[in-house]
Copies of this chain bind each other. A is one copy, B any other.
Amino acid sequence: MELATLLVSCADRRGIVAALAQLLSGHGANILDSDQHTDPLAQMFFQRIRFDLSELATDQGTLERALAEVAQRFHMTYRLWYFETPKRVALFVSKYEHCLYDLLLRQRAREFACEIPVIISNHPDLERAAREFGVEYVHIDKSAEYKGLAESREQALLEKHRIDLVVLARYMQIMSPEFTQRWEGRLINIHHSFLPAFIGGRPYHQAYERGVKLIGATAHYATAVLDEGPIIEQDVVRCTHRDSIEDLVRKGRDLEKVVLARAVRWHLDDRVLIYGNKTVVFD
């Protein structure tokens, strides 16, 4: 099988489902999965189609041109991805190793359809982990140099490695608005609280102070406004009066790992569509 995934969003109109189904079947593509959603309030249409093009009657170029035409007709935003081209992911980390190891182990276990050519960090501490997995590790010390310059170096690295997705895996630095804008929809962050509760710094301390009975973690696309971007995934775990702040941090690590991993996998599988400040996740 030669798999491809088509992700579509546009203003809702009649006939979109039929038009896309006809287009694909007309070119000999076989639809394997199709997931569709209409938001009646926003009057928006969303669809994810996974299809096999091993028996395509024409060729990829012809199919793409026909698709572009339909897209224009319906004013669609769309993304077409061929499965044979794995996405390329860069990880940003600081000193915490749990999310880094988790992502690297999942990639090695083939949970993720991606390559991870580079890890960028504002600290030298995790270089050893990178070496174990054979990934290039670049230390860019943001406290030592002008921030704009550091980001230029980061951007150059991302371009050099033809990166498709940036994952902030507990990276304790705030990116500039230019950076978040440039990587809009391709920049995933993990925040260690159940957003919108406990925005900002030291959320586990905030949770401890408030005396909540559950703590959470949130994976979201990073935007210019801290912790306010579109949420991809969230989860919680129970805590009690017996939990110290250290216990919350420990329980939280397990949450951060699984929540971030789910968000990354869904993004890599082209299951996530952004609209307004929300997401559609076809899981």
Contact = CB atoms under 8 A, between A and B. Distances in A.
A98 interface: yes
How many of these chains are in the complex? 4
A18 B195 CA distance: 41
A242 B34 CA distance: 12
Contacts of A5: none
Contacts of A194: 194, 197, 214, 236
B105 A109 contact: no
Interface residues of A, number: 61
A278 B236 contact: no
Contacts of A230: 211
A281 B211 contact: no
A280 interface: yes
A18 B22 contact: yes
Interface string A255-283: 00010000000000000000011111101
B98 A101 contact: no
A240 interface: yes
B197 A210 contact: no
Contacts of A98: 105, 109
Nearest to A241: B280
Contacts of A278: 210-211, 241
Contacts of A154: none
8 closest pairs, A vs B, by CB? A211-B278, A18-B25, A197-B197, A21-B21, A18-B21, A241-B280, A213-B234, A34-B36
Interface of A: 14-15, 17-18, 21-22, 24-26, 30-41, 97-98, 101, 105, 109, 111, 132, 194-198, 210-214, 216, 230-236, 240-242, 244, 250, 253-254, 258, 276-281, 283
Given A14-B25, A37-B241, A98-B105, 7 more contacts: A18-B22, A34-B36, A101-B105, A109-B250, A196-B197, A214-B236, A241-B278
28 contacts: A14-B30, A15-B25, A17-B21, A17-B25, A17-B31, A18-B21, A18-B25, A18-B26, A22-B22, A35-B35, A39-B241, A41-B244, A101-B105, A194-B194, A195-B210, A195-B212, A210-B231, A210-B278, A211-B276, A213-B231, A213-B232, A213-B234, A213-B281, A214-B234, A241-B278, A241-B279, A241-B280, A241-B281
